Amino acid sequence: MQKRQECIDVGSEYCPCYLAETNNCITCSQLQGKEFCDCNWRGVCVYQELLMNRNKIRQQRDYYKSEIEDIREIGKDSYILKLKVTKTLARQLKEPGSYVFLRDERLPQYFDVPMSVMQSDALNGEITIAFKAVGAKTNSLKKCDENILVKGPYWNGIYGLSSLKSVKEKTCLVLARGISQAPALLAIEKLVKNKNKVKLVLDGGSIGELFIHDYIKDMDIDTYEEDLMSEKGRTLIKQLLLNQDVALIYSAGSDLLHMSIINILDELELEPYLAVTNNNEICCGEGICGGCTIRLKDGTRAKACKTQIDSRKVIERRVLLD
């Protein structure tokens, strides 16, 4: 039987959404136009929620006008941006995989760009984002002076979230390369909070800077520095895997990094939990535009912006197609 897909928003305050209203729900078979229920979802019933709400969807995410508290360059065309947001939004963005859409308020909606949250301070209502200016959207961000539009919270920035959030009192290996050091921070905070022993390997990648040092200096974790795509880097990963009983690996970097980790695991015949950054192109983030749709090995399609997909399946598929 085909496994039901798991929507990152199911059971949240944003569910049911437009997908339920249009019979395109990711999780609920009845809200896909079928006459039976086989969702396997053990939380709040999406179908019932929609009926109880008189077939109306819940209020969806909106834009906030956010004050820019600080912007500083950290490496080759890379920046750290600190934004003032509501305390509620900051609290919602504390989980690993959190991201927001950002846009210069003077520009049209198609300049919206998804950005991983690096740090979130719910007490002061602040979020910190790191970004690399590579195209029209990201270059427009560095020209914002006082305010910026923020839309969120979104949570599907990582595949393998259930393992990453549930692993406790184990050894975990975190590999963070380039600008993906940013999404690694919330994951490290979660792993440390759950009393895991974290081994972190940092690699400046294309930006050439290790900018999360300042944010992790008070944490009790072991840090290594190495080019993760080099032979030396691969050897270090193998040593760590062979000498430690690693329960989970979190790979924060490109799909090539993820694939290289999968190859190492296959070579060593190890099967720890694997969590990886979601590197799919995300456009609307709501499952509506279809821009992020990927076809998995078993032929099913998945909307990468809202669906939690097995890390291996999605990476092997993407790397094969590239």
- Return the number of the residue (269 or 281) whose C-beta is nearest ligand FES: 281
Q: Does 18 bind ligand FES (CB under 6 A)?
A: no
Cis peptide upstream of residue 183 (ω within 30 degrees of 0): no
The CA distances from residue 213 to 149, 201, 203, 208, 291, in Å, are 28, 12, 11, 13, 35
Q: Does 285 bind ligand FES (CB under 6 A)?
A: yes
In the bound complex, what is the minimum distance in angstroms from residue 142's beta carbon to ligand FES?
24
In the bound complex, what is the minimum distance in angstroms from residue 285's beta carbon to ligand FES?
5
DSSP string, 97-125: T-EEEEE-TTS-GGG-EEEEEEEEETTTT
**Secondary structure class of 307 (helix, strand, coil):** strand
Q: Does 37 bind ligand FES (CB under 6 A)?
A: no
Q: Does 26 bind ligand FES (CB under 6 A)?
A: no
Task: Point out the residue whose Cβ comes nearest to ligand FES.
Answer: 305
Q: Does 287 bind ligand FES (CB under 6 A)?
A: yes
Q: Does 176 bind ligand FES (CB under 6 A)?
A: no
Which residues ranging from 184 to 213 are in contact with ligand FES (CB under 6 A)?
Answer: none
Q: How many residues bind ligand FES (CB under 6 A)?
A: 12
| Binding test (CB under 6 A) with ligand FES, winner from 216, 236, 305, 309 | 305
**DSSP code of residue 140:** H
In the bound complex, what is the minimum distance in angstroms from residue 46's beta carbon to ligand FES?
18
- Half-sphere exposure (CA, 13 Å, Cβ side) for 83? 33
C-beta separation of 153 from 100 below 8 A: yes
| Binding test (CB under 6 A) with ligand FES, winner from 303, 308, 309, 315 | 303
DSSP string, 215-267: HHTTS--EEEE--TTSHHHHHHHHHHHHHS-EEEEEEES-HHHHHHHHHHHHH
In the bound complex, what is the minimum distance in angstroms from residue 115's beta carbon to ligand FES?
14
- Return the number of the residue (133 or 294) whose C-beta is nearest ligand FES: 294
| Binding test (CB under 6 A) with ligand FES, winner from 284, 302, 309, 315 | 284
- The DSSP bridge pattern shows strands 63-75 and 246-252 to be unpaired
- Return the number of the residue (228 or 282) whose C-beta is nearest ligand FES: 282
C-beta separation of 173 from 241 below 8 A: yes
